[in-house]
Structure 1
Amino acid sequence: MDSDTSYWFVGALWGGNGDQTQRFISQGIWENGYDDKHLDLVKAIKPGDKIAIKAAFTQKNDLPFQSKGSTASVMAIKARGTVTSNEGDGRLIHVDWEPLTPEKRGKTRGNLKA
Structure 2
Amino acid sequence: MGDGREGDTFWIVAEHGERAGYVRNIRRCPEVRVRFRESLRFIWHRGTAHVLPEDDPYARQRRLGSRHPLRALNAVVVRVMGTELVTVRVDLGPCTGRNVPFTAR
- Point out the structure with max Rg over C-alpha: 1
Structure that is richer in helix per residue: 2
> TM-score normalised by the shorter chain: which range applies?
0.3 to 0.5
Higher strand share: 1
Which one has more relative contact order, counting CA pairs under 8 Å at least 6 apart? 2
User: Taking structure 1 as the reference length, what is the TM-score of the superposition?
Assistant: 0.37
